[in-house]
A and B are shown apart, each in its own frame.
Chain A
Amino acid sequence: MTIQLAIENLTKLYPTGEGVRNIDINVRQGEMVTLLGPSGCGKTTVLRSVGGFVDPSGGDIKITNQSVLHLPPEKRPTAMVFQSYNLWPHMTIYDNLAFSLKIRKKRKEEIKQKVSWALDLVRLPGVEKKYPAELSGGQQQRVALARALLLEPKLLLLDEPFSALDAKLRHELREELREIQARQQLTMLFVTHDQEEALSISDRIVVMNAGEIEQIGTPKEIYDQPSSLFVAEFIGKMNFLSGLAEGSHVKIGSLQFPTIEQLYGPITACVRPEDIVLAGAEGIEAKIDKIMMLGHYAEATLHTLFGKVKMFIGREEMERLQLHDSIKIQFSKIHVFKGTKIHNHTREEIVC
């Protein structure tokens, strides 16, 4: 696979001291890579640097092995879809889409044919004569996508394109985008703060925090083997338990777990709710505090010696468990990180 986009040692510092440092990302041809992180983590800065709207302070950006750093946005082989305000309200959809083609001096029949091709692709045939204000938010984003596709970019940049839409529409467009991407063999760099979105559509995810890359990996890698406490906290649901590491094992309260990391001192152990399972007599004492029905599974909040933990219960078990029941649980898998949890926000807060 050839490398379509190479970001090498990119640095951009703003006068306020914020910015991004030492960013290295490679995107292969036909790949969809997501930049994921909380707001202010610098993901948009990276994306806009690639698009040419931000001047990096250092590093290089290569598209198909050619540096594009000296090129203004209009000369770069990229196309960008913004979060909102993509379309020009004084032009019809046709004119919006034909804008770039007219600049490139295409013949009229060709423009016509390409515009209707692009609208077919985003499943909006026949809206050429309408004005953007006559379309819904989701339709406008589709048109914006169509316009970006008409640029025939070597790299498509998407800056939280669906975050202004409601949940259902977001899911729909996500799927469609993935389909179009696969069909057109598009290379994409996608920015989002929504970890669910990132997990569901990416080939690989770049998790960013405070201007630096925390982890790069496939959605599965990021979910199953978070490389830092931040990633563990940001991706998916997670329980945090504080404990003490003593070389070959960690102690969480009275429990002992073997580790291979050889850590010493205070640690945080992370357990996914699905990795908490019902156990026999030797398990940990827990009391069911709350059960939230979430469709094909339920989320139970348990009171234990280590504080509150959340676990998922499947359909069959749901029948057997009652509120305020005492049960025994055990952890089938834990992740151990050095230090204590600093960020105190829950995942829900980050998503909003």
Chain B
Amino acid sequence: MWYIKSVKKGKIIEFVILILFCIFFLGPLLNLLLLAFSGKWQYPAKLPSSWSLEWWSFVLSDDEVLHSILLSFVIAIVVTLVSIIICIPAAYAFARIQFPLRRMFLFSFLLTNAFPKMGLYVSIGVLFYQFDLMNTFIGIVLIHIINTLMFMTWIPSAAFKNVHKAQEESAQDAGASPFRVFWHITLPMAAPGIVVASIFTFLSSLDEAQGTLLVGIPDFKTMPVIMYSIIADYPSTAGAVFSIILTLPTIILLLAARRFVGADALASGFNMK
């Protein structure tokens, strides 16, 4: 009640909108949470009639599921590292060097997001067959990187651009070699942007299903791929348990990085300059 009292009169509408917003966003998550721990939950009942961890033990004792969780994390880590290695130098070049067609190249990263994903994957699949990349670890990593290129170049590029020339120059003036300037000044100052981009890369790789399904079948089943079959073959409780497992890393990572993740870091990343 103290909260409602502290809300000023003119703010009532805003308060109502906030509540609606919370229900809209948190409602499904709450429902998911209840469902995951329920034993029996028939329609008219507002809450589950019995609680159980049955599906948790099912999901967590299935070797295939456990293996898929491990695989997903390994792939996500590899994708993030490879993306960093490829994209950070590119981002630096976009931020600092004026080369011909710079804007066009920067814009081209958007292309992979402009086409229907499945169509793109099928045509990539054709290529992958020729190069024997189907059903390989490398194939999956490649297809994930296609999705992450844009974040990993745009956001760090904006971060590099926010490092002022004078800041680099004064370090050079103080006696630092160009490499030292990059390592001690430019990189640490751009770090928040790079962290944000890396988290997005990690999470989008962890959640990627379509491409993995196409390229990785039959040997490489990641969490999202397994989830498709679990949702199809088992009661919804199993799906809920699985969703929570899939959501947890996102929440943990975002909480850990909330210092860096801000609207401005993102917004400046999507600035075409």
| A contact set with B: CB distance below 8 Å | 51, 53, 72-75, 78-80, 82-90, 99-100, 103-104, 144, 147-148, 151
In the complex, are the beta carbons of B170 and A86 less than 8 A apart? yes
Complex contacts, A74 vs chain B, CB 8 Å: 172-177
Complex contacts, B171 vs chain A, CB 8 Å: 88, 99
Does chain A have a CB within 8 A of B164? yes
Complex contacts, A51 vs chain B, CB 8 Å: 173
Chain A, residue nearest B173 (CB): A80
Which of A51, A83, A103 has the most chain B CB atoms inside 10 A of its CB?
A103
Complex contacts, A83 vs chain B, CB 8 Å: 166
Complex contacts, B191 vs chain A, CB 8 Å: 90
Does chain A have a CB within 8 A of B180? yes
Complex contacts, B261 vs chain A, CB 8 Å: none
**Interface size range on B against A:** 10 to 19
Q: How far is the CB of A235 from chain B (nearest CB, A)?
A: 29
Known: A100-B175, A103-B175. A89 touches B170 (CB 8 A): no
| B contact set with A: CB distance below 8 Å | 164, 166-167, 169-177, 180, 184-185, 188-189, 191
Known: A73-B169, A84-B166. A103 touches B180 (CB 8 A): yes
Number of A-B residue pairs with CB-CB distance less than 8 Å in the complex they form: 60
* Complex Cα gap A90–B185 (Å): 8
Complex contacts, A86 vs chain B, CB 8 Å: 166-167, 170
Chain A, residue nearest B169 (CB): A53
| Chain B interface, >50% SS class | helix
Complex contacts, B175 vs chain A, CB 8 Å: 74-75, 100, 103-104, 151
In the complex, are the beta carbons of B174 and A151 less than 8 A apart? yes
Complex contacts, B188 vs chain A, CB 8 Å: 90
Complex contacts, B180 vs chain A, CB 8 Å: 103
Q: How far is the CB of A63 from chain B (nearest CB, A)?
A: 14
* Complex Cα gap A147–B175 (Å): 12
In the complex, are the beta carbons of A147 and B169 less than 8 A apart? no
Chain A, residue nearest B187 (CB): A90
Chain A, residue nearest B164 (CB): A85
Known: A99-B171, A99-B174, A104-B175. A82 touches B166 (CB 8 A): yes
* Complex Cα gap A267–B135 (Å): 87
* Complex Cα gap A88–B174 (Å): 12
* Complex Cα gap A72–B177 (Å): 9
In the complex, are the beta carbons of B169 and A100 less than 8 A apart? no
Q: How far is the CB of B196 from chain A (nearest CB, A)?
A: 16
Known: A89-B189, A90-B189, A99-B184. A78 touches B166 (CB 8 A): no
In the complex, are the beta carbons of A73 and B173 less than 8 A apart? yes
Q: How far is the CB of A35 from chain B (nearest CB, A)?
A: 18
Q: Identify A82's interface contact among B170, B176, B185, CB under 8 A.
A: B170
* Complex Cα gap A183–B246 (Å): 66
Beyond the given A73-B172, A88-B189, could you list 10 further A-B residue pairs with CB under 8 A, ordered by the A residue number?
A74-B177, A75-B175, A82-B166, A85-B167, A86-B170, A87-B170, A100-B175, A100-B176, A144-B170, A148-B173
